[in-house]
A and B are shown apart, each in its own frame.
Chain A
Amino acid sequence: MSAEPEDGPRQPGHGPGAVRAGAPDPEAGRAGAPTLAELRRRIAEERDHPEYGRGAVIACDRLVRIFTADGVEVQALQGLDLLVEPGELMALVGASGSGKSTLLQILAGLDVPTAGSASVAGHDLLSMGAAERLRYRREAVGFVWQQTSRNLLPFLTAGQNVALPMQLGGGGRGRRRAREARVAELLDLLGVGHCRDRGPEQLSGGEQQRTAIAVALANRPAVLLADEPTGELDSESAADVFGAFRTVNAELGTTVVVVTHDPMVAGEVRRTVAIRDGRTSSEVLRRIARDADGRESVVEREYATMDRSGRVQLPREFVEALGLEHRVGLELEPDHIQVWPDS
């Protein structure tokens, strides 16, 4: 059998937002210690190749997050790699407990990884100091949480909620007019301009989440993170909210990362990355293909992600179908690799 995709790019890292692994070493998969020559070659390669994640707005490399609660360690992230290009709109999916929220918290600057490296919009999330972190939260990222009530301050109107992050950034009173204009602009863009002077409790769930998006965008962040933003909504408002993300992505060029369980949402983005056990396991890319008659259709392809050392996680169905266990045999063919059960 073959793990090679039929139609996908042979080398990962070509499509927009594909996980870009380091240059694959054909011998890495095989047993045996690297020779001296090989090491030299690797170092040279590392020097010549552009650094990891260059040009990406989000770059996570072997990200690890370990929680200790009551003396028990939980590895929420176990070496997660992720690259996101500027302007991308992508979805993160995965089973419950797979570490999606943990990743988002780290990306939002609310949590610090235990090991690995992560950078967002030029900020190194591990090494930044308190002042930079503050600036990062204020200006570089915006986020929307699942609970509608957690995104907005209950005692402020929608408009005031949107203005608040701008006020937190400081700035003179002279900028009030500019702020007001920005608030109106954002609310209108998200289709909740009519809610400006209402309190959160007077808004529907969908309106609340769209307002929350406006709040998140108030300081023009490069990245917008959303953790199950439609989780509490019915499908219609969910569609509205997701439309809002699209709008934002298209009109403002903001990079959007959405964690979702909603297959409909996942089906609408060009790239969906799946996380399993604290690692990116596979991703789905969609593109529009034109057939001979000129009719357009969405072509969907699933890829397995390969990390920088060439590790690939096989989809669970594949593993179960062939009863793979412990060891598999590999065979390098001219244009693909074959994987066999160990028999």
Chain B
Amino acid sequence: MTDAPGPADTRPAGPGPAPGDAAALPPAGGRRPPVCAPWVRTRLRSAPAAAGALALLVLALSFLAAAAPRALDRYADTALHRDLASRSPVVRSIDAEAVLGPAQDLSPEAVAAAVSPARLAAVERRLRDTVRPPLRIDPAAVSYGVSTSSGHLALTDPGLPEVDGLQPTATLAWRQGADAHVRMAAGRPPRAAPAAGGAGGAGGDGGDGGQGGFTVEVMVSRATADLLRVRPGSLLHLRPDTGPPFVLRVSGVYTALSAADPYWGFGQTLLRPALASAPPPGSAQYWHVGMLVGDASVRVLPRAGTVDAAWHHPVAADGLAAREVAAAEDRLDDLVSGTAASRLRSGTGVPGGLSVTSPLPAALAAFDRGRAAAAPLLAVAGAGLAGVAGAVLLMAGGLAADRRTGELALLRARGAGLPALAGRLAAETAAVALPAAAAGLSAALLLLPTARWGASAAAAAAVAGLVVLVVPLRAVLPHRGRGTGPARADVARTRPSRRRTVLDLAVLAAAAGAVAAVRQRGIAAGGVDPLVSGTPLLLGLAGALVLLRVYPWPLRLLARVAAGRRGAVPFLGLARAARSPASGTLLPLLALLLALTVAVFGGTVLYGISDGRTRAALAQVGADARIESGTELPPGLPRTVAELPGVRSAVPLRVQGGLGLLLHQGGMANGFTLVVADTAAYARLSAATGIGRFGTGLLRGGGAVPALASPALAARIGGGAQGPLVTTYGSFDVRVAGTLAQTPAARDGGDFLVVPLEQVRARWARASSAPLPAPDLLLLTGPVDPSALHRTVERARGAEAATVSVRTEVLSALDRAPLPQGATALYAAAVASVAVLSVLAVLLSLARSAPGRAALLARLRTMGMTGGRRYRLVLLEVLPPLVAAAVAGTLLGLAAVPVLGAAVDLAGLAGTDVPTGLGVRLGPLLAPGAGLLALAVGAAAAETAVTGRRRIAAELRAGEQ
């Protein structure tokens, strides 16, 4: 057709290869692609990077969704197991007990028949059948037996150790499987049948002796043998309150195979003697020992009076899942007082019946309380994570849809129906999302093993379903109208529609309502509430909506300023930032803002927790370490301790609690603690710890002893001198010279009075020639080595009653407490996940706008723009929305502190008793935003470097699309 204009008639086919040529060039693979393209496969193959990004996102989100319920389960299970394991088997046992004796109208013969080892074993089997899941008994820890009622069998031999002039008492016990739990130190286990008759075994030939009593073989623990000074072959005499006397022949001395064995938990006196006290009026103390008898002797135990049969079933510490706690509590209720209990009472053949008791419900209830206290804050973290995940998902869907706009417009123009389009997109998305979600679910199942998986599968399926729904809908909806697709909308020019205004106002109202509700009720009160849990998220959302409206203003202004300047780079960069499509900017902005708000808020929570624990530990110890005793500390101890490495100061204090003071104005100030302290040392101490700082000048001056009082006590006492105050350290008048909120010396938080040692000592010296009683409290500062301190105090003579607490040890105990540790870790994991999601959001949004930028950069390269200026251009285009999001997100997270702060008590998460609020520190506050910006700057640098190396021609060609 290059010839002259031909006649208007049509002409035969234009030039081009003859049909013969058309056979040329099958594609490199050799096989011809089918004419009707298999859509999904073609799409995936054509855009592997986009498919990969989507797969990665779905993988991450479905993993998070599937991991959340499992992590919760595992956290609760682990905490429960650790909690139970940290308690002694005695506290997690289900115990059955039967008391048999004259009080039950039972003859010794009847009792003997009922408590024979065979009968006891039968009852045990019955009990084990009754204790059903979810309660699981630790079979190795089960023990049962029968013993004489404690306390009434006095050992009559002369020369036995006495404490307050009372004879020792003994319990004769038979325990199932005792031989398997002891090692004989001397002699042999008791074996011989009891012999009737009196001392020296000069009785008849066994059997139930008459009035003469019995000779019974026993074995005793090494500690008991040492106390009683007996060895195999020794004889002891036992006189029950009623019935015949017993002669005990020691056949052997044993030690426990393992003292930690739960088997011994229920019979401590069988291992070592204990000091018992007589009933109050006298409260005299005496020794009580346990002795084991052989199988053959069980039948004579009832002769000594009432016997106790007991069956102990410690529950396996790791046998109970947290989700079964409620069922376990019901089951325990049933066992203790329900139908199972009544069946046991009547059905076991024990005369008088069994009673079942268990301390386990108390332990479980404590666990439940702890878990309920942590739940609301975990719900906040969960809601934040879910919200951010949803926003990132929406954003990814939006970006994917934007990328496809042209293609969809073309298809639509060629007559593709919306359902057909959506169907194709859904199939395409599902082909990526379903395997990715399955992989995410599998990863969660594998990495977080726990029993339940239903919720995880549902959550992963929900993520996959949401993706398969959101991506096509988001892509197709803008093409709904009759036109060719969505109209172009620049971020800096788009004006919000009325519908969006209404929506924005609704969100703002919801956020305000949530804040009001939270401030009224408190976050931790009243369990998990969706509105309360979503408050930080709602705040973030509200802030995001406001930001989206405000954001164009400064951008437009900057762009105008840049347009007036000479440099091309600021102008181009800002113009591109302003001209970037609204949909491509707003969703990333929203996702980032939410993520930052949640992350910053989470950071204040985490910091608040650690701060709360630090403060709780300090409050509990009062300094870096504390040595305290009910009596006077040995005089040399302060100096010895002060010389330990790491100790900066050791401040001895004299403390007396429970004091009262008659007031001149009438009435009495009661129950306060007196602290006598060396003014200078105490001032240094309180300055070092930050607890109860004061000016030393306050404690000077004559007249009545100047004192620093707790505010309530100061108000009670009033201004003038009062007294006399009668104390261990003398009687003196006091006047309140100032108030202190706290003192490191008293840790119970009650009222106190601090007086200067110098004046007290002077008054004491005037009144008495005896020395002033020594200090009973020693507070240390400095990084002292705990084990060295413990060792030193243990070795010091006269310090047996002293207790040592070290701040770092208390703190690490707080950190390690099962529930708080798990909950805090979970919270931290949620915040970390949010951080990862925000990184993902930044990278996704950068990747989305990268091709356009690459084309621009290539064009600018042809015009000779240098790499440095291209980098600045990229930064100027990329950073404005990120800076806006970082600043606004940080501010919003920070705003959440005063807005919600009053309502948030982190004590449940921190595991402390004192109320713990959010903690603000600059580092954690700024880190998320700064990190994101640094990431963006790095990504921009990488992008400039990569595009700078690529061939310009390829770039220009690729950029056309």
Is this pair of chains taken from one and the same complex?
A: yes
Query: Chain A interface (Cβ within 8 Å of chain B)?
Result: 70, 89, 105, 108, 110-112, 130, 133-139, 143, 149-151, 153-157, 159-160, 162-165, 167-169, 176, 179-180, 183, 187-194, 196-198, 201, 210, 215, 219, 235-236, 239-240, 242-244, 246-247, 249-251, 264, 267-270, 286-288, 296, 298
Residues of A within 8 A of B21 (CB): 193-194
Known: A155-B43, A190-B16, A197-B32. A135 touches B11 (CB 8 A): no
Chain B contacts for A286, CB-based, 8 A: 8
B954 → chain A, closest Cβ, in Å?
A: 11
* Residues on B with beta carbons closer than 8 Å to the beta carbon of A236: 2
Q: Confirm or deny: B715 has a beta carbon within 8 angstroms of a beta carbon on chain A.
A: no
Least Cβ distance of B1 to chain A in Å? 4
CB distance from A25 to the nearest CB of B (A): 33
Separation of A327 and B629 alpha carbons in the complex (Å) = 118
Chain A residues within an 8 Å CB radius of B14: 191, 239-240, 242-244, 246-247
B332: min CB distance to chain A, Å: 65
Q: Is the CB of B36 within 8 A of A194?
A: no
The interface-forming segment of B82-90, B403-411, B430-438 is: B403-411
Q: Which 7 A-B pairs have the closest CB atoms?
A: A191-B16, A243-B14, A138-B415, A193-B22, A155-B46, A250-B10, A239-B1
Choice from B19, B24, B415 contacting A135 with Cβ under 8 Å:
B415
Contacts A193-B19, A193-B22, A194-B17 given; indicate if A89 touches B10 (C-beta within 8 A): yes
CA distance A8 to B536 in the complex (A): 79
Q: Which residues of B contact A190 (CB under 8 A)?
A: 16
Inside 8 A of B19's CB, which chain A residues have their CB? Answer: 188, 193
Question: Does chain A have a CB within 8 A of B484?
Answer: yes
B420 interfacial by beta-carbon distance below 8 Å: yes
Contact of B482 among A112, A162, A180 (CB under 8 A): A112
Are A108 and B413 touching (Cβ within 8 A)?
yes
Q: Is the CB of B7 within 8 A of A288?
A: yes
B768 cross-chain contacts in A, Cβ below 8 A: none
* Docked pose: A285 CA to B23 CA in angstroms: 41
The answer to whether A235 and B2 touch across the interface, beta carbons within 8 angstroms, is yes
Contacts of B863 in A (CB 8 A): none
- Judge whether A110 and B413 touch: CB under 8 Å: yes
Q: Is B960 on the interface with A (CB-CB < 8 A)?
A: yes
Q: How far is the CA of A249 from the CA of B13 in the complex (A)?
A: 10
Q: Is the CB of A168 within 8 A of B420?
A: yes
Complex CA–CA separation, A153 to B961 (angstroms): 10
0/1 string, B929-961, CB within 8 A of A gives 1:
000000000000000000000000000010011
**In the complex, A143 Cα to B413 Cα: how many Å?**
9
B35 in contact with A159 (CB, 8 Å):
yes
Given A160-B35, A167-B36, A268-B8, residue A191 in contact with residue B15 (CB < 8 A): yes
Also in contact, A269 and B2, with CB within 8 A (given A168-B416, A168-B420, A191-B13): no
Cα of A296 to Cα of B8 in the assembled complex, Å:
12
Partner among B8, B493, B960, B961 whose Cβ is within 8 Å of the Cβ of A288:
B8
Interface centre among A151, A183, A191, A251 (most CB of B within 10 A): A191
Bound-state CA distance A266–B689 (Å) is: 94
Judge whether B37 and A163 touch: CB under 8 Å: yes
Q: Is B33 an interface residue (CB 8 A)?
A: yes
Q: Which residues of B contact A135 (CB under 8 A)?
A: 415
Nearest Cβ in chain A — how far from B960, in angstroms?
5
- The 7 listed contacts between A and B (C-beta, < 8 Å) are A89-B10, A111-B484, A197-B26, A198-B25, A244-B13, A244-B14, A250-B12
CB-nearest residue of chain A to B9: A288
Chain B residues with CB below 8 A from A143, complex form: 413
Tell me the bound Cα distance from A112 to B481 in angstroms.
Answer: 11
Q: Which residue of chain B is the closest to A70 with respect to CB atoms?
A: B493
Question: B757 to chain A: closest CB distance in Å?
Answer: 83
What's the nearest-Cβ distance from chain A to residue B209, in Å? 103
Contact of A111 with B483 in the complex, beta carbons under 8 Å: yes
Q: B417 in the interface, Cβ–Cβ < 8 Å?
A: yes
Known A-B contacts A191-B14, A197-B27, A247-B14; the reply to A267 vs B33 at CB < 8 A is no
> Judging by beta carbons under 8 Å apart, are A287 and B413 in contact?
no
Q: Is B498 at the interface (CB under 8 A from chain A)?
A: no
Most buried by A among B11, B15, B36, B411: B36
Q: Which residue of B lies closest to A288 (CB)?
A: B7
B8 lies within 8 A of A287 (CB): yes
Q: Which residues of chain B are within 8 angstroms of A162 by Cβ–Cβ distance?
A: 35
Question: A298–B414 contact, CB under 8 A?
Answer: no
Give the chain B neighbours of A288 by CB distance below 8 A.
Answer: 7-9
Give CA–CA (A105, B411) in the complex, Å.
15
Identify the interface centre among A136, A219, A246: most chain B CB within 10 Å of its CB.
A246
Chain A residues with Cβ below 8 Å from B25 are: 194, 197-198
Q: Complex formed: what's the CA distance from A135 to B42 in Å?
A: 26
Closest to B480 in A: A130
Bound Cα distance from A287 to B9, whole angstroms: 9
* B575 → A minimal CB distance (Å): 18
Determine the distance from Cα of A308 to Cα of B935 in the docked complex, in whole angstroms: 67
With both chains docked as a complex, state the minimum distance between the C-beta of A163 and any C-beta of chain B, in angstroms.
5
A238 to chain B, nearest CB (A): 8
- B6→A153 contact, CB < 8 A: no
A148 to chain B, nearest CB (A): 9
Contact B13 A251 (CB under 8 A): yes
Residue of B nearest to A137 (CB): B415
Q: Are A153 and B35 in contact (CB under 8 A)?
A: no
Contact between A160 and B32, CB atoms less than 8 A apart: no
Q: Are A137 and B35 in contact (CB under 8 A)?
A: no
Q: Does B636 contact A (CB under 8 A)?
A: no
For A240, the chain B residues whose CB sits under 8 A away are 1, 14-16
Chain A residues within an 8 Å CB radius of B26: 197
Q: Which residue of B lies closest to A183 (CB)?
A: B35
* Given known contacts A240-B14, A246-B14, A155 and B47 CB-to-CB distance under 8 angstroms: yes
Instruction: Please report the C-alpha to C-alpha distance between residue A267 and residue B484 in the assembled complex, in whole angstroms.
Output: 31
Contact A176 B36 (CB under 8 A): yes
Find chain B residues with CB under 8 A from A164 CB. 37, 411, 414
Residues B14-65 near A (CB distance < 8 A): 14-17, 19, 21-27, 32-37, 42-43, 45-47
Residues of B within 8 A of A270 (CB): 8
**Complex: A244 Cα to B1 Cα, angstroms:** 10
Given A105-B484, A168-B416, A193-B17, 14 more pairs with CB closer than 8 A: A111-B484, A112-B482, A137-B412, A138-B414, A154-B961, A156-B42, A168-B411, A169-B415, A210-B16, A219-B415, A239-B2, A242-B14, A247-B12, A264-B5
**A295 CB → nearest B CB, Å:** 12
Question: Complex: how many Å from CA A159 to CA B22?
Answer: 12
A246 and B37 contact, CB distance less than 8 A: no
Instruction: Report the Cα distance A108→B493, complex, angstroms.
Output: 30
Min distance, Cβ B38 to any Cβ of chain A, angstroms: 10
With a cutoff of 8 Å between Cβ atoms, the chain B residues found around residue A130 in the complex are: 482
Contact indicator A268/B6 (Cβ below 8 Å): yes
Q: How far is the CA of A242 from the CA of B5 in the complex (A)?
A: 12
Contacts of A112 in B (CB 8 A): 482-483
Known A-B contacts A155-B47, A176-B36, A288-B8; the reply to A165 vs B1 at CB < 8 A is no
How far apart are A123's CB and chain B's nearest CB, in angstroms?
13
Given A193-B19, A197-B32: A246 and B10 interface contact (C-beta under 8 Å): yes
Residues of A within 8 A of B22 (CB): 187-188, 193-194, 196
